[in-house]
Structure 1
């Protein structure tokens, strides 16, 4: 190939990537750097609910706006409405038909037959909820994962999902620029926005400031099959449900594909559906529908923030314990109770674990301690 032609093609691709990718990110990216953090005392922290903390956070609110903007761009009106309804009230409506113990036992037996509930005894099957038509916590206030894991703070689910959605949309744009084809943008957005929709139910905030401990269902965190079941129960398109199921693993190799197949079977069992007839699995019930859609992989790739955010959370939480003792006078016993949990919840909700880890990794422990004190004033 002529070197001049090769150079022109390289320039074209670079410019296309910059124009396409940056246009999406610029439109969606929260202006976190300009966020105004509201300083409080430790005693004030103790009186704030998780929703209070999330609503005080400019970072969380900007991410929430980003998420809603993405959903507003879903072209299919019925899908767009369904996703907004879930964001506004991520209620576990799929358990409405399971109001009696008899019905729950029947579903539990179906899951047992699939080997999906080996780690959940029947008396711990399904998280508690007063009314399956109303989520116990708003999407806005929920953590992004378990209390020792990524985005574990009020509003963490919003920041986690917003970033994932931007990553997925960036992949959509870059595939279009480099390979000259378009994926189903509605599926890309809906599957990523909804991939953790039942974390407000599964990771309910507790009185001591921690979130509920999660159990495993079908070999993964229970929030995942429950979230797919909710989408299935609400009648979302099969391609959205399948892509959503791929958030935790991809279907590129047989061993990996066993994951989404298992989770789709669990979701079908939870909702009383046949996974093949519902177009969740191929005719033999052993793979995803063939040929496998590329949106499935994009949802999986978009949910890879955890590779950094999980260890970052581990390291920052340990640093926070030392700061709590040294700067706030908390005892070792306090580190296991509400005072410490409320302190870290507020700090993380206002600054994010990732921003704090950036401070730690670039400027050190003293700078991190100073940053924390600028958010919550020591007594």
Structure 2
């Protein structure tokens, strides 16, 4: 049986996606498959056969298509269609110089010269599609094939709700293009950073300038591709806001690090104020909205932390796995398949509301015990 036919899951029975919003109706109607069949699926196949992931991916594409500025719209669409690290071109021939400059500033603590950029970087072709990447590290939020798509879709929807409510309550428009572009791109290099490994886990992330390397590399990518400064600034603010001096130090540092990688002057590009100490004045409200919109992790990180041990328990009790198997491709294929089809958030909600037995039944509906 064709793999795509085999995995026509009913996890998403109906969906309505429009540029103004996203509505997904979830119903549990599954075609069973076995543990051995899970092992044969690639992360990309898992993502492509997940209703939740594919509807999220369609929504992201629809929002990108709705950007009014034609140049910005094309840039965003190009990036999500092929999130290849073109910044490799900017670094080519100057990698030692870039490393030394970052290291001099204390932004590469514990990271060697050979590993300060993820492996398998090609300026022409991404090593995996945007929609098949996990949303974070393998023990963190949305850690399954397609997790980046579901995470980004929710964040864009959250950001647009803030955009709408500022207009509704205060009577003014923010720059919708900036809000949408910055949020879609806020994790653009997770497909590069969180590459899937042979055992089914994902690559471990290094730190860069005091945050996960994906963040600085993503901002650098936007600069290299010539995105407007206001989008790059808002993107940099996803991990912290500029409301207080101590908080603003983060975005300023990340923009400086990204500028070193991209080989630009951050002040001349418009990324920093004339003194190079703050973001451009007056500080952008769109940057705050991007930061507020990227708070899906507040719930999804602990949800993953609580759900993964429950999945390990089910794997040992119901699928004959040993404790050693839990650190192997056998378990990783199992959890990747279940999480990609049902999502960690939906499964955690089920466990929280109805208990572990309900979770167990749901897992059995996806993978035949």
Shorter-chain TM-score range: over 0.9
In structure 2, distance between residues paired with 1:30 and 1:205: 29
Alignment match, 2:211: 220
Alignment match, 2:120: 129
Asked if 1:290 corresponds to 2:293, the answer is: no
Q: Is the 8 A contact 1:37 1:57 kept in 2?
A: no
Alignment match, 1:238: 229
- Structure 1 unaligned spans of 5+: 1-23
Alignment match, 1:7: none
In structure 1, distance between residues paired with 2:152 and 2:273: 29
Asked if 1:274 corresponds to 2:265, the answer is: yes
1:141 to 112, 128, 132: 132
Q: Please list, as runs of the form range in 1=range in 2, the aligned pairs for 1:292-371 lying within 5 A after superposition.
A: 292-371=283-362
Alignment match, 1:11: none
Q: Is the 8 A contact 1:37 1:58 kept in 2?
A: no
What displacement does 1:237 show?
Answer: 0.2
**C-alpha distance after superposition, 1:269-319 (max 9, x if no partner):** 001111111110001111000010100000000000100000000000010
In structure 1, distance between residues paired with 2:90 and 2:171: 46
Would the alpha carbon gap of residues 112 and 26 (structure 1) be closer, same or farther in structure 2, given more than 3 Å must change?
closer
In structure 1, distance between residues paired with 2:19 and 2:223: 33
CA RMSD across the alignment? 1.5
In structure 1, distance between residues paired with 2:42 and 2:241: 37
> Which runs of 4 or more aligned residues in structure 1 lie more than 4 Å from their structure 2 counterparts after TM superposition?
24-27, 34-38
What displacement does 1:130 show?
Answer: 5.2
In structure 1, distance between residues paired with 2:358 and 2:27: 19
Q: Is the 8 A contact 2:223 2:232 kept in 1?
A: yes
Would the alpha carbon gap of residues 85 and 368 (structure 1) be closer, same or farther in structure 2, given more than 3 Å must change?
same
Q: Is the 8 A contact 1:359 1:367 kept in 2?
A: yes
2:58 to 62, 65, 69: 65
What displacement does 1:26 show?
Answer: 9.3
Would the alpha carbon gap of residues 26 and 196 (structure 1) be closer, same or farther in structure 2, given more than 3 Å must change?
closer
In structure 2, distance between residues paired with 1:130 and 1:172: 35
Alignment match, 1:46: 39
- Structure 2 unaligned spans of 5+: 1-16
Alignment match, 1:82: 75
What displacement does 1:30 show?
Answer: 3.8
Q: Is the 8 A contact 2:128 2:191 kept in 1?
A: yes
In structure 2, distance between residues paired with 1:368 and 1:77: 46
What displacement does 1:106 show?
Answer: 0.6
What displacement does 1:34 show?
Answer: 4.4
Structure label with greater radius of gyration: 1
Higher helix share: 1
Aligned residues: 354
Output the TM-score relative to the length of structure 1: 0.91
